[in-house]
Amino acid sequence: MKKMLSSLVLLLILVGVMGSCVAKSIEDNPIDSAFANDFQKAQSTVEINYVSEKYLQAWKKELVNAANVLKG
């Protein structure tokens, strides 16, 4: 449970930072748009944790990809 809470906090920070730095709105970013849609549909703590972890992993992959592009 503690790991999931940490993941949720990290996800929210990533979404906030990346959203304000890169995209002008959620609609400009497919990960944020999909997260917002799935998060709204989540009805239980288990579903919220699943959605949060799913998009945390998506953002991690996106950041690794961006780092690889920058490295050349």
pTM score over 0.95: no
Is residue 27 scored above 60 in pLDDT? Answer: yes
Helices 30-41 and 2-21 pack at an angle, to 10 degrees, of 140
Is residue 12 scored above 90 in pLDDT? Answer: no
Distance between first and last Cα of the chain: 38
Contact 55, 49 (CB under 8 A): no
